[in-house]
Amino acid sequence: MAATISKTDTITYREALHIALTEELERDPDVFLMGEDIGRYHGTFKVTAGLIEKFGERRVIDTPIVEPGFTGIAIGAAMVGLRPIVEMMTMSFSILALDQIINHAAKIHYMTDGQAKVPLVVRGPGGAAKQLSAQHTHCLEGWYAHCPGLKVVAPATVADAYGMLKTAIRDDNPVIFTENPGLYGIKGEIPNEADFTVPFGKAQILKEGKDVSLVGYSRMTLVNMEAAEKLADMGIDAEVVDVRSLAPLDSTTIYNSVKKTHRAVVVYEDWKFGGFGGELAARISEDCFDDLDAPVTRVGGLNVPTPYARVLELECIPDADAVVEAVKKLN
């Protein structure tokens, strides 16, 4: 699969994750994988395809359907020096392991006065795929970013998926690494460098503009890019800010963009009410108040359990047209 693909090839987001996992398993014997169906079944989204054949059952571990149990085992393994990577079949299932993640992984370093570390990665698909219904389409990155002690990242591009996963695996802190299912098939390139990584806490500008800042992360970054193209046809020059790292958060790049454009629309797939986009909007409003020519606007998911019916599901998820309409309403 992806491990045989050259870094000079155009690859998918899924393949970039696969290559990153392969390289880190080869680089560090303390790295191992745990999760449901990640071995013989190769994972629900096939990110771990072929890894059990290459590295064996001691380093690619198929677990029972007990998220609190195998997450707790991974935390213990991390505390004694290993570097576990836990794949959640969907990040919605990480809700079952919230006590382990929030009350233990996030707090152990603090509560032991720095004597213990938890170099743990919890990764998996977060957000809407296609008709996975209400229990499998949660965007939980805002929940985790709310908790001190966790690092939370949501890469939107192929290169970032590759580089940020490698950064996560090497980090001595617990990292929540969320992958929107809608990104697995997108294509791009990864740098042909021996040890390429992408640092946390650094947003990026994917498109320069002067009229409005479109701020988002994960798949909504691509939605913002599409919206920017539509706005260009209307004579509106939008700048696209890819947050990519929620915790730590790079406020400076966001603020500099808003100070240039004087308008901001924050776009996120999570439920609009109480979602992480509200934090971004509040920070912009507080710290860039004198630079704003219009109120900060949010475009978020509808506050309903995601329906199974495709036509209704699409109504719940922000798209480029919704972003365009929000921009048009700015004074």
CA angle centred on 203, ends 181 and 249, rounded to 5°: 90
pLDDT in tens, 26-37: 999 999 999 999
Tokens 């992958």 belong to 179
Q: Do domains 2-188 and 204-328 have the same CATH topology?
A: yes
For residue 194, the SS3 value is coil
pLDDT in tens, 301-319: 999 988 888 999 888 999 9
| Selected catalytic residue, list 15, 67, 179, 239 | 67
pLDDT at 44: 87
Respond yes or no: is residue 279 known to be catalytic: no
- Lowest-confidence segment of 106-120, 170-184, 242-256, 309-323 by average pLDDT: 309-323
The correct answer on CATH 3.20.20.10 for the domain covering 2-188 is no
pLDDT in tens, 14-72: 999 999 999 999 999 999 999 999 998 988 899 999 999 999 999 999 999 999 999 99
Q: Which pTM was predicted? A: 0.94
Q: What are the residue ranges spanned by the domains of the chain?
A: 2-188, 204-328
How many other CB atoms are there within 10 angstroms of residue 308's CB atom? 12
Respond yes or no: is residue 109 known to be catalytic: no
| Selected catalytic residue, list 42, 109, 136, 138 | 136
| 204-328, CATH topology level | Rossmann fold (3.40.50)
The tokens for 317 are 């998820």
pLDDT exceeds cutoff 70 at 4:
no
